[in-house]
Structure 1
Amino acid sequence: MAAWTVFPYTGDYRFDAASVTKKWARLHAGDLEPLPQDPAVLQAWVHFHNGEFQKAATAGQNLGFAGTCVASKATCVYATYLEKHETRRLDLFLAVADHASHLTANNPDNLNGRYWRAYALGRYSQGISVAKALAQGLGTKIKTDLEYVIRHAPQHADAHVALGSFHAEVIDKVGSLIGAMAYGAKKDVGLTLFEQALKLHQESSCCLLEYAHAMLMLGGNDMMDEANQLYQRAAQTKPIDAAERLDVEMAKAQLND
């Protein structure tokens, strides 16, 4: 595996197993990942929260199914925010989707296996063009996975965010009529999903950031003020770990554009 781009704020987060365990509920308020009992899996999460994404991904992969979720999250966060080469980004998302599919097939009760498969395919779809991805049937797979997660874990804020983004992306690319008829994508449903996500996880800089993106897709300049307010809220949140720091810095960059 080629060396990944280093987290630009390395050293700002210094978690260890004890502090990750203590703050687990806050760290995983969005994805509801269960606290691991295996010390090796917990250590992989320590690497993740400190911004050592490649270490987290490698450690998770070496742990088999027990490490699939930490490897998936580390890879997705890295590919979304730090990988500069588009081909590598897409390959990383496809790899996550493949590994998450294996986890789901072998452990259907692991909801985050479905969530990470959907998230990775969603990001991959953005990379190849959402319209092309829809033609390949990826939209149905993404929507089905995310609706399954929410149905079985109504408190899963991150799944609400991802499904809200799905509705916005589809409508933005194919329009409201075709989006609703062919893919069940609706503007009001998408916006409601973001509002639900914020109720579930009020401190989610990721939700605020993605909600702002969705508003611009759904309303363009007419929703610019609302989107900027969300970007400002995201930029003002205090990140608890490396992943949230990347969300906050992205929000700041959007405001400065």
Structure 2
Amino acid sequence: MTPWTPCPYAGIYRHDGDSLVRHWARLHAGDAEPMPTDPALLDAWALYHNGEFERAVHAGLAAGGDGLVLANKAACIYANYVEPGEQTRLQLLVSAAERAQAHQASAPRNANAWYWQGYALGRYSQGVNVAKALAKGLGGKVRQALQTTIELAPNHADAHLALANYHAEVIDKVGELIGSMTHGARKDTGLALYRKALALNPDSAITLHEYANGLLMLEGARALEEATRLRERAAAFEPLDAMERLYVEANRMALED
């Protein structure tokens, strides 16, 4: 396999098991992932938070069990924000979705086994064209996985955010009427999910950035002022790890555009 592209912020953050114990609640306010009790798995998570995504994937796969959540998160974030090759990016997302689905079989009540399937398939759909992905039935899989996540973990902010993105993306690509009748996507539901995500995780550049993007898809130009305010809040955010830094920088680029 082609070597992974280094994260531009690897080496800036120096988390270890001890620092993750102190910062876990803040770093995982979005995905509601329980802090590992196994020190080795906690150290493996430190690789992820430091931006060493490839090593984190290998460590998560080696750990098995709940380590699959780490492997899938590291692969998805790397694919979405670092990997420059489109085909490699899409394959990483497909592999993560397949691992997550297999994880569901062994741990059906693990909320993040469902979440990372929904997230990976959602990002994959964006890459191959949302309308085409919907025609292949991927939309229903994304929606089911994210709804199951929320059923299992009602305070999973990122699942609310990703499901809101589903509604926004579908409506943006196929329109509100077809989106509602054929794919169960509704503007009011999307907006409510964004508000819920923000209420659950208000101090998050990720939530603010995705909410701003979704508002523009659902409301158009009339939401520009509010979207800009959300992006300005995200741009002022002080990242605590490499992933947050990736989101903050993406948000700053969106503001400049």
2:35 counterpart of 1:22:
no
Give the match for residue 207 of structure 1: 207
* SS in structure 2 at match of 1:9: coil
Q: CA deviation at 1:138?
A: 0.7
Code of the residue aligned with 1:93 in structure 2: it is L
Give the match for residue 162 of structure 2: 162
Cα distance in structure 1, aligned partners of 2:161 and 2:66: 25
Give the match for residue 176 of structure 1: 176
* SS in structure 1 at match of 2:66: helix
Equivalent residue runs for 1:24-103 within 5 Å: 24-103=24-103
Code of the residue aligned with 1:69 in structure 2: it is V
Q: Percent identity?
A: 53
Q: CA deviation at 1:219?
A: 2.4
* SS in structure 2 at match of 1:154: coil
Cα distance in structure 2, aligned partners of 1:50 and 1:108: 29
* SS in structure 2 at match of 1:193: helix
Q: CA deviation at 1:67?
A: 1.2
Q: Please, what TM-score do these two structures have when normalized by structure 1? A: 0.97
Equivalent residue runs for 1:127-146 within 5 Å: 127-146=127-146
Give the match for residue 198 of structure 1: 198
Cα distance in structure 2, aligned partners of 1:65 and 1:153: 18
| Structure 1 segments unaligned to the other structure (5+ residues) | none
Cα distance in structure 1, aligned partners of 2:191 and 2:244: 22
| Structure 2 segments unaligned to the other structure (5+ residues) | none
Cα distance in structure 1, aligned partners of 2:43 and 2:133: 36
Q: CA deviation at 1:65?
A: 2.6
Q: CA deviation at 1:221?
A: 2.1
Deviation by residue 1:12-48 (Cα, 9 ceiling, x = unmatched):
2111111111211111111110111222211110000
Code of the residue aligned with 1:215 in structure 2: it is L
Cα distance in structure 2, aligned partners of 1:102 and 1:21: 29
Code of the residue aligned with 1:57 in structure 2: it is V
Which range moved further: 87-96 or 201-210? 201-210
Cα distance in structure 2, aligned partners of 1:256 and 1:25: 31
Which range moved further: 220-229 or 171-180? 220-229
Which range moved further: 35-44 or 24-33? 35-44
Code of the residue aligned with 2:148 in structure 1: it is Y
Q: What is the aligned length?
A: 257
Q: CA deviation at 1:6?
A: 1.1
Deviation by residue 1:195-227 (Cα, 9 ceiling, x = unmatched):
111111111111111111111212222222221
* SS in structure 2 at match of 1:65: coil
Q: CA deviation at 1:112?
A: 0.2
Code of the residue aligned with 1:92 in structure 2: it is L
Give the match for residue 119 of structure 2: 119
Q: What's the C-alpha RMSD, in Å, of the aligned pairs?
A: 1.0
Deviation by residue 1:140-163 (Cα, 9 ceiling, x = unmatched):
111111111112211100000000
Deviation by residue 1:160-210 (Cα, 9 ceiling, x = unmatched):
000000000000111101111111111111111111111111111111111
Cα distance in structure 2, aligned partners of 1:47 and 1:2: 20
Q: CA deviation at 1:56?
A: 0.5
Equivalent residue runs for 1:176-255 within 5 Å: 176-255=176-255
Structure 1 ranges of 4+ moved more than 6 A: none
